[in-house]
């Protein structure tokens, strides 16, 4: 693999989509779909393949590109369209004339509703495609149970009815058809059935699902559970119809889709070309903006002109006259009508174009960050400076947190971040010395005073930002401590509350709610969580020390080594108390044994008794 391909593989998203492999000449040699692009594409390069064909494919891959979609079904449809467009060398499936099944509503006097794989006949209406043929079959069977549709292939017209050319079949006698071939049902009444069926095939499946749900409940109430299970399976399959693919739509012919996205210094425009209802080309253009004077309309005009130049042959062949955009260009292109769709499949296609532009921007930023890690750090710190209204970049940040249980063993922690990353060697613990009980505000004043008094005395660097875990009260306590040691205004202070992650500033009665996806909030939350973890860990250690304290710790002359020797030999303090002086002397010597016996007897004596 070349370095460019390695970098692309490391930036793949965990999204469904379609990937294309190109060889050194730039020819597409393989098109594949993936439920998870990152896992699927990387699987080609991180293992040995038993298939010689796959091994040869991997050897010939020089570049890779991909398109993200919303669902796996959409990925199936886009894969199908691209394979038929490019006929890649290493693809086996889908290269022949076979395709996914469609449901056809014919254009006859009494329309038929049937499954086909050839969606070409003029005058007919096609719905789909359905990546799972079972879904299409269940849909047809269920509609035939509800509506008396004709299933024969007879040519039925007003002339054949008048001439009485056909005779009634079994479907009529079992009440599954109303005798269309004899004209026993009017075209208007039959047309109402077709109108409702078209509504269902357009995605409004709730009518069928309601009927199935009612049937399932009736069968279950009659304890006919096996039949209810069959209906339940049909109900589940119909749920797939609700997620019908929007990548391929037979009602959309030869149009372009342009989705624009921009930030302060760059813009991205994703282009998709739809031919015969299928996406056959996809490209993302990137524009570096020299100034902020370029409008979105100007950028869209440049993108459309660039696409027309690159794909001139396509436009001559397909005669594209319509473009779906999210920004109307400021230039009128001859023979091309631009519009912004508000709903339907065209709007969904436009949403996918914008999504791909967003993914391309994300990939570009991640690629730049990998090549230049300092750039990401600077961007994060600049964002924090803007969001928190700081005068300088917060390259040095410290965060404090208190920990106690009902006032016992009160401790505090201070964690340090430099360039938005933990500097663990600078973390500090504090035992609270001057505060009685659970007074978090007083504890915060103490630790802030102790921390920064020492930094001032030792001439150490002060942080640009101080974060406290808490609300207005904690922020006020930290400000008071800084003012008391003469650091007024030298360190910015903010607080973050646990409940809603709101940020408090000194003197502001109302908190600031930062966007949950903001890098600023992510860094602050990480600081808060790290300080909380560090404080809790230290507090647990302090409590553990108190819990293992025993009577042996207070006896003069009995040090840690002697105590360990006693416990190893006698196993418990109870056995040490029960041991004779002679037994103790054999372990620790007669002098220490006599001293230990006297100390234990004094500790066991009741209050007020005379042990002399």
- For residues 512 and 389, is the Cβ–Cβ distance under 8 A? no
Pick from 94, 114, 117, 96: nearest CA to 104: 114
Lowest mean pLDDT among 31-45, 137-151, 278-292, 327-341: 278-292
Q: Stretch 245-249: mean pLDDT, rounded?
A: 52
Question: Whole-model pTM?
Answer: 0.46
Pick from 591, 601, 586, 593: nearest CA to 551: 601
Cα–Cα dist 301/327, whole Å: 9
How large is the angle between the packed helices 344-371 and 3-10, nearest 10 degrees? 120
Lowest mean pLDDT among 98-107, 164-173, 206-215, 244-253: 244-253
Furthest-apart CA pair in the chain: how many Å?
A: 134
Q: pLDDT band at residue 178, thresholds of 50, 70 and 90?
A: confident
Strands (E), 435-546: 465-469, 492-496, 503-504
Per-residue model confidence (pLDDT) at position 611: 41
| DSSP code at position 412 | E
- Does pLDDT of 258 surpass 90? yes
How large is the angle between the packed helices 560-570 and 581-588, nearest 10 degrees? 120
Cα–Cα dist 367/358, whole Å: 14
- 416: β partners: 398
| DSSP code at position 111 | -
How large is the angle between the packed helices 581-588 and 590-604, nearest 10 degrees? 130
Looking at per-residue pLDDT, the higher value among 219 and 373 belongs to 219
Q: pLDDT band at residue 202, thresholds of 50, 70 and 90?
A: low
Q: What is the pLDDT of residues 87-101, one digit of tens each?
A: 888 875 434 444 567
- Does pLDDT of 58 surpass 50? yes
Q: Stretch 22-41: mean pLDDT, rounded?
A: 88
- Does pLDDT of 469 surpass 80? yes
Per-residue model confidence (pLDDT) at position 396: 92
Q: Stretch 57-85: mean pLDDT, rounded?
A: 80
Pick from 484, 400, 409: nearest CA to 444: 400
Q: What is the pLDDT of residues 338-397, one digit of tens each?
A: 899 888 778 888 888 898 888 888 887 777 766 666 777 888 888 888 888 888 889 999
- 52: β partners: none
- 114: β partners: 104
- Does pLDDT of 546 surpass 80? no
- 127 phi and psi angles, rounded to 5 deg: -130, 135
Alpha carbon distances (Å) from 325 to 250, 261, 269, 313: 20, 11, 10, 22
Report angle CA 591, 592, 596 to the nearest 5 degrees.
125
Q: Which H or E run contains 77?
A: helix 72-86
Q: What is the DSSP string of 193-231?
A: HHHHHHHHHTT-THHHHHHHHHHHHHHHHTT-HHHHHHH
Report angle CA 410, 413, 415 to the nearest 5 degrees.
175
Q: What is the pLDDT of residues 405-454, one digit of tens each?
A: 555 667 888 999 988 888 888 888 888 888 776 677 888 888 899 999 99
* Structural domains in the chain, sorted by start: 3-86 (3.40.1440.10), 102-242 (no CATH), 255-368 (3.30.420), 387-545 (3.30.420.340), 551-604 (1.10.150)
- Does pLDDT of 511 surpass 90? no
**Percent of the chain predicted with pLDDT > 90:** 3
Rounded to the nearest integer, the mean pLDDT of the chain is 80
Cα–Cα dist 435/439, whole Å: 7
Per-residue model confidence (pLDDT) at position 437: 67
Per-residue model confidence (pLDDT) at position 259: 92
Express the helix, strand and coil content of the chain in percent, nearest 5 each.
Answer: 45, 15, 35
């Amino acid at each position: 693999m070349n370095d460019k391909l390695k970098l692309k593989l490391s930036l793949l998203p965990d999204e469904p989509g379609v990937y294309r492999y190109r060889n050194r000449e730039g020819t597409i040699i393989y098109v594949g779909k993936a439920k998870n692009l990152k896992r699927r594409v990387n699987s080609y390069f991180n293992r040995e393949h038993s298939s010689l064909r796959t091994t040869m494919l991997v050897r010939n891959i020089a570049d890779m590109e991909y398109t993200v979609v919303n669902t796996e079904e959409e990925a199936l449809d886009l894969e199908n369209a691209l394979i038929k467009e490019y006929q890649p060398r290493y693809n086996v499936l889908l290269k022949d004339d076979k395709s996914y099944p469609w449901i056809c509503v014919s254009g006859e006097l009494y329309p038929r509703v049937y499954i086909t794989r050839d969606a070409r006949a003029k005058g007919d209406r096609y719905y789909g495609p359905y990546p799972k043929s079972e879904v299409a079959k269940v849909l047809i069977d269920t509609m035939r149970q509800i509506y008396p549709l004709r299933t024969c292939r007879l040519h039925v017209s007003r002339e054949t009815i008048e001439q009485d050319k056909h005779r009634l079949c079994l479907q009529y006698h079992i009440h599954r058809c109303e005798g269309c071939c004899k004209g026993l049902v009017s075209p208007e009444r039959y047309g109402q059935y077709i109108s409702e069926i078209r509504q269902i095939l357009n995605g409004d499946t709730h009518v069928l699902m309601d009927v199935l749900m009612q049937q399932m409940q009736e069968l279950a109430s009659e304890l006919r559970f096996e039949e209810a299970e069959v209906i339940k399976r049909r109900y589940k399959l119909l749920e797939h119809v609700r997620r019908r693919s929007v990548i391929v739509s037979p009602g959309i012919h030869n149009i372009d889709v342009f989705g624009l996205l921009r930030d302060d210094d760059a813009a991205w425009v994703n282009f998709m070309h739809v031919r015969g209802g299928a996406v056959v080309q996809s490209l993302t253009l990137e524009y570096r903006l020299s100034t902020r004077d370029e409008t979105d309309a100007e950028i869209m005009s440049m993108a459309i002109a660039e696409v027309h130049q690159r794909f001139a042959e396509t436009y001559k062949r397909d005669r594209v006259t319509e473009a779906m955009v999210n920004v109307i260009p400021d230039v009128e292109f001859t023979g091309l009508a631009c519009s912004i769709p508000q709903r339907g499949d065209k709007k969904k296609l436009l949403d996918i174009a914008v999504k791909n532009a967003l993914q391309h921007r994300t990939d570009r930023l991640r690629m730049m960050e990998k090549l230049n890690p300092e750039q990401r750090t600077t961007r994060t710190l600049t964002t924090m400076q803007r969001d928190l209204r700081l005068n300088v970049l917060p390259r040095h940040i410290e965060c404090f947190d208190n920990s106690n249980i009902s006032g016992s063993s009160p401790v505090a922690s201070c964690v340090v971040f430099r360039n938005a990353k933990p500097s663990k060697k600078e973390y500090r613990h504090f035992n609270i010395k001057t505060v009685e009980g659970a007074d978090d505000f007083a504890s915060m004043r103490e630790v802030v005073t102790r921390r920064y008094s020492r930094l001032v005395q030792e001439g150490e660097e002060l942080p640009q930002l101080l974060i406290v875990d808490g609300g207005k009260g904690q922020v006020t306590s930290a400000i008071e401590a800084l003012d008391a040691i003469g650091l007024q205004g030298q360190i910015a202070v903010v607080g973050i509350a646990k409940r809603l992650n709101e940020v408090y500033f000194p003197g502001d009665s109302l908190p600031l709610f930062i966007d949950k996806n903001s890098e600023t909030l992510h860094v602050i939350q990480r600081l808060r969580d790290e300080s909380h973890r560090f404080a809790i860990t230290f507090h647990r250690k302090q409590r553990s020390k108190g819990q293992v304290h025993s009577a042996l710790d207070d006896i003069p002359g009995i040090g840690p080594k002697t105590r360990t020797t006693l416990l190893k030999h006698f196993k418990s303090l109870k056995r040490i108390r029960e041991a004779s002086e002679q037994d103790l002397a054999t372990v620790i010597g007669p002098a220490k044994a006599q001293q230990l016996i006297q100390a234990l007897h004094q500790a066991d004596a009741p209050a007020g008794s005379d042990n002399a």
